[in-house]
C-alpha cells in the first residue's frame, strides 16, 4: 500500500489542458473558488493519459452532495445507495461525487455487499475505495498534475486492470465490479490482473444479489459500445452471462447451433453499426438475447395455426422469468415486444396488412430482426428467403411505386374498391417505415 501519493507533473503526463471540456472546467473552478477541493477522476483521467477522448468527465470533491446542489442551480441529486450530484450543461452532464470513506460493517448486507455507500471521507480514502487502480487517478487543474495513490500509473503502463485491495472483499462489496472488469478488458484491450481474474470464477454467482434495475445500465454499456462480441465471449468464459440471461445460457450450453449463430451474427452486426456510427438500440439487443428462449417455446408447437398467439404467450413467459434478473424500462420493453410481435406479419406481402406493416414505427427494426433469423438459418427454406427479398425490394422502391407493388390486384382490376381504399393507402405508403 502506498501512503503518500505519486504526483505526476504536466511535463511528464503531457495531457493538453484544452482536452478538458469547458463544462468540466467550470465545475472544477467553481468548487475550488468556493473553498472546496475538486478533481477530475476515473475514466476521463485514464482515457486522457492513454491519449483517448473521454466519453464524459467525472469530478470528485470534498463538498457534500447538498453543498454541490446549492452551488450549481443546474444540478440535481441522484442515487440512494450512492448519492451524487449531476450538473447539467445542455446535453452534457458532469457527475460530481463526494469523497467516500471505507464502507462500515453496518452498511454491508449478509453477503458483504455494500447497501449504503454514503459515508464521506478524504481524497486518499476515496482513492482506495474506487474499483481499479487505473480508475483511481485524480487530475488537479490548479497544478495540472495527476495524483496516484494506488499504483494506477504503473498499471496503465503495463496495460493491466487491477482491482484495488483484496479481490474477494471488493467483489463481495459490489459484484458489478466483475462486469466492469470485463467491460474495461474489452474497451481498453488490457489484461486483468491474475488475482482479480481468479476471484471472478469464484464470485460470478453473486451477481444474482444485484438489484435487477442496476444491471440494465451495465448490460447496455457492455453490449452497445462497439465490443459486444468480445464482451459476450468473456462474460460466458467467466460464467457471468448465465446470471444475466439464464434461459439464453441454457440453450447455449447445450450447444444449440441456431442460438450461437443467431447471437453472434447479431452482436457482430451491432459492433459494425457502432463502428459506422449508426444508431443501436437496447430494444433490439434485448429482443435478440431473449429470442433464443422464446423460439424454443414456439418450436414446441410446430403445427400451431395461431402463431401470433403462440408468440405472445411465449413472450410473456420469458419476460416474467427474465425480469427477475434485469429490469427493462418500458421505453425498452415495449419496442422489444413489438419487434417480436411483428415477425409473423411479414407473411402478408400484399394489401392493407402489408401497407400497415410497412408503416409501423418498428418496421425497420423488425425487418432487420427477420433478416437476422434468416441469416442464422432458422428459416432456411427458399420461400422465407424470398420473403426477405420481397421486403427488401419494397423498401428500395419510390413511395409511389410501393402502392402498386403492395396492392397490385386492387390497382389493376377492382377499380371501385381501389377508389375507396386508395386515399388511405396513399396516406399510409407515404409514411416511410
Ligand atoms: P467510462 O469510460 O465507461 O465512463 P469510467 O471508469 O469513467 O468509465 P464510470 O461508471 O463513469 O466509469 O465511473 C466513474 C468512476 O467511478 C470509475 O472510474 C471508478 O473510479 C468509480 N466507480 C464506478 N463504479 C464503481 C464501483 N462499482 N466500485 C468502485 N468504484 C466505482
Ligand atoms: Mg465515466
Per-residue pLDDT of the chain (433 residues; tens, 9 = 90+): 547 999 999 999 999 999 999 999 999 999 999 999 999 999 999 999 999 999 999 999 999 999 999 999 999 999 988 999 999 999 999 999 999 999 888 888 988 899 888 899 999 999 999 999 999 999 999 999 999 999 999 999 999 999 999 999 999 999 999 999 999 999 999 999 999 999 999 999 999 999 999 999 999 999 999 999 999 999 999 999 999 999 999 999 999 999 999 999 999 999 999 999 999 999 999 999 999 999 999 999 887 778 899 999 999 999 999 999 999 999 999 999 999 999 999 988 888 888 889 889 999 999 999 999 988 875 556 777 788 888 888 888 887 788 778 876 654 544 444 444 444 444 444 433 3
Given this model, what pLDDT does residue 430 score?
Answer: 41
Q: Ligand 2 centre and the CA of 94: distance in Å? A: 9
Per the listing, cell 482491482 goes with 163
Asked if 384 is an active-site residue, the reply is no
Where would I find the beta strands (DSSP E) of 191-260? 191-192
Write out the three cell numbers for 113: 455487499
Q: What's the CA gap between 371 and 350, in Å, rounded?
A: 19
Closest ligand, as measured to the CA of 24: 2
Looking from the CA of residue 44, the nearest atom of ligand 1 is: 7
Considering only CA atoms, which of 404, 208, 233, 433 is closest in space to residue 324? 208
Q: Please, are residues 234 and 192 in contact by the beta-carbon 8 Å criterion?
A: no
Q: Ligand 2 centre and the CA of 43: distance in Å? A: 5
Per the listing, cell 453543498 goes with 67
Torsion of CA 191, 171, 147, 3, to 10 degrees: -110
Asked if 22 is an active-site residue, the reply is no
Write out the three cell numbers for 215: 444491471
Write out the three cell numbers for 397: 422502391
Closest residue by Cα to atom 5, ligand 1, is 43
Q: Ligand 2 centre and the CA of 60: distance in Å? A: 12
Q: What's the CA gap between 74 and 93, in Å, rounded?
A: 10
Chain mean position to CA 302: 34
Q: How far is CA 167 from CA 41, 175, 231, 395, 422, in A?
A: 22, 11, 21, 53, 68
Write out the three cell numbers for 127: 482513492
Q: Ligand 1 centre and the CA of 98: distance in Å? A: 14
User: Looking at 47, 58, 62, 148, which residue is catalytic?
Assistant: 58
Half-sphere exposure in the Cβ direction for 379 (13 Å, CA): 18
Q: Please, are residues 105 and 116 in contact by the beta-carbon 8 Å criterion?
A: no
Looking from the CA of residue 225, the nearest atom of ligand 1 is: 3
Q: How far is CA 189 from CA 3, 48, 156, 186, in A?
A: 30, 16, 11, 5
Where would I find the beta strands (DSSP E) of 165-225? 191-192
Angle between helices 330-342 and 282-299 (to 10 degrees): 50
Closest ligand, as measured to the CA of 54: 1
Q: Ligand 1 centre and the CA of 419: distance in Å? A: 62
What class does CATH assign to 1-155? alpha beta
Q: What share of the chain is helix, strand, coil (3-state, %, to 5)?
A: 60, 10, 30
Cβ contacts of 374 within 8 Å, gap of 6 or more: 384, 385, 388
Given this model, what pLDDT does residue 429 score?
Answer: 44
DSSP state of 150: S
- Pairing of the two strands 58-61 and 191-192: unpaired
Counting ligand 1 atoms within 8 A of each CB, the residue from 24, 41, 42 with the most, and so the one to mutate, is 42
Asked if 131 is an active-site residue, the reply is yes
Where would I find the beta strands (DSSP E) of 153-228? 160-161, 191-192
* 85, containing H or E segment: strand 84-89
Cβ contacts of 272 within 8 Å, gap of 6 or more: none
Given this model, what pLDDT does residue 386 score?
Answer: 82
Given this model, what pLDDT does residue 105 score?
Answer: 80
Q: Any idea how long the chain is? A: 433
Q: Please, are residues 36 and 61 in contact by the beta-carbon 8 Å criterion?
A: yes
Q: Please, are residues 258 and 376 in contact by the beta-carbon 8 Å criterion?
A: yes
Given this model, what pLDDT does residue 382 score?
Answer: 72
Pocket residues for ligand 1 (CB within 6 Å)? Answer: 42-43, 55-56, 58, 130-131, 135-136, 174, 176-177
Looking from the CA of residue 136, the nearest atom of ligand 1 is: 20
* 65, containing H or E segment: helix 65-71
* 307, containing H or E segment: helix 307-322
Angle between helices 228-237 and 257-275 (to 10 degrees): 140
Q: Please, are residues 57 and 68 in contact by the beta-carbon 8 Å criterion?
A: no
- Pairing of the two strands 92-98 and 58-61: parallel
User: Looking at 47, 62, 131, 174, which residue is catalytic?
Assistant: 131
Cβ contacts of 157 within 8 Å, gap of 6 or more: none
Q: Ligand 1 centre and the CA of 349: distance in Å? A: 49
Given this model, what pLDDT does residue 425 score?
Answer: 47
Looking from the CA of residue 129, the nearest atom of ligand 1 is: 29
Closest ligand, as measured to the CA of 42: 1
Amino acid at each position: 500500500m502506498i501512503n503518500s501519493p505519486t504526483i505526476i507533473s504536466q511535463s511528464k503526463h503531457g495531457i493538453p489542458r484544452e482536452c478538458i471540456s469547458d463544462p468540466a472546467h467550470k465545475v472544477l473552478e467553481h468548487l475550488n473558488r468556493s473553498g472546496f477541493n475538486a478533481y477530475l477522476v476515473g475514466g476521463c483521467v485514464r482515457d486522457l493519459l492513454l491519449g483517448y477522448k473521454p466519453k464524459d468527465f467525472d469530478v470528485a470533491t470534498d463538498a457534500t452532495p447538498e453543498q454541490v446542489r446549492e452551488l450549481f442551480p443546474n444540478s440535481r441529486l441522484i442515487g440512494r445507495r450512492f448519492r451524487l450530484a449531476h450538473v447539467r450543461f445542455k446535453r452534457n452532464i458532469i457527475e460530481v461525487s463526494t469523497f467516500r470513506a471505507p464502507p462500515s460493517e453496518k452498511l454491508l448486507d449478509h453477503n458483504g455487499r455494500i447497501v449504503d455507500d454514503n459515508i464521506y471521507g478524504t481524497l486518499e480514502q476515496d482513492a482506495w475505495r474506487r474499483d481499479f487502480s487505473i480508475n483511481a487517478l485524480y487530475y488537479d487543474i490548479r497544478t495540472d498534475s495527476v495524483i496516484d495513490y494506488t499504483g494506477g500509473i504503473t498499471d496503465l503502463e503495463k496495460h493491466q486492470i487491477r482491482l484495488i485491495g483484496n479481490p474477494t472483499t471488493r467483489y463481495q462489496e459490489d459484484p458489478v465490479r466483475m462486469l466492469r472488469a470485463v467491460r474495461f478488458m474489452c474497451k481498453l484491450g488490457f489484461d486483468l490482473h491474475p488475482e482479480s481474474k481468479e476471484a471472478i470464477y469464484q464470485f460470478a454467482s453473486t451477481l444474482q444479489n444485484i438489484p435487477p434495475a442496476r444491471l440494465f445500465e451495465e448490460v447496455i454499456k457492455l453490449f452497445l459500445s462497439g465490443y459486444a462480441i468480445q464482451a459476450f465471449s468473456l462474460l460466458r468464459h467467466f460464467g457471468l452471462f448465465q446470471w444475466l440471461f439464464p434461459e439464453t445460457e441454457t440453450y447455449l450450453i447445450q450447444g444449440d447451433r441456431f442460438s450461437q449463430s443467431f447471437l453472434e451474427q447479431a452482436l457482430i452486426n451491432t459492433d459494425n453499426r457502432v463502428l459506422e456510427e449508426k444508431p443501436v438500440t437496447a430494444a433490439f439487443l434485448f429482443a435478440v438475447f431473449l429470442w433464443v428462449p422464446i423460439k424454443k417455446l414456439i418450436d414446441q408447437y410446430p403445427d400451431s395455426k395461431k402463431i401470433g398467439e403462440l408468440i405472445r404467450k411465449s413472450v410473456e413467459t420469458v419476460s416474467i422469468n427474465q425480469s427477475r434478473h434485469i429490469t427493462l424500462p418500458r421505453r425498452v420493453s415495449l419496442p422489444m415486444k413489438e419487434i417480436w410481435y411483428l415477425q409473423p406479419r411479414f407473411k402478408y406481402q400484399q394489401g392493407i396488412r402489408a401497407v400497415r406493416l410497412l408503416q409501423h414505427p418498428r418496421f425497420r427494426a423488425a425487418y432487420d430482426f427477420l433478416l437476422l433469423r434468416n441469416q442464422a438459418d432458422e428459416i432456411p427454406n427458399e420461400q422465407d428467403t424470398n420473403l426477405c427479398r420481397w421486403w427488401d425490394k419494397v423498401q428500395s422502391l419510390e413511395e409511389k411505386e410501393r402502392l402498386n407493388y403492395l396492392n397490385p390486384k386492387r390497382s389493376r382490376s377492382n377499380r371501385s374498391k381501389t377508389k375507396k381504399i386508395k386515399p388511405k393507402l396513399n396516406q399510409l405508403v407515404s409514411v416511410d417505415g
